[in-house]
Amino acid sequence: LIGFHETYREHFRTVGEQRQKLGGLIAKRIGIGNILLQRVFPPTRRPPPPDSL
């Protein structure tokens, strides 16, 4: 039973590490995607308020 518990904990640890790596990759992908979107679609300047005319 103790051996089973050890392998169980080890399994969860490796799964957690894999999930963290995957999360990091996804975060990098999203970050790169945001940078590319900003380059393609630069933040538009707001039109001046109408009362300034």
| 20 three-state secondary structure | helix
The sign of the CA dihedral 6, 8, 12, 15 is positive
> What is the pLDDT of the chain when averaged over all its residues?
79
The domain ranges of the chain are: 2-41
Mean pLDDT of 17-28: 87
> How confident is the model at residue 53, as a pLDDT?
57
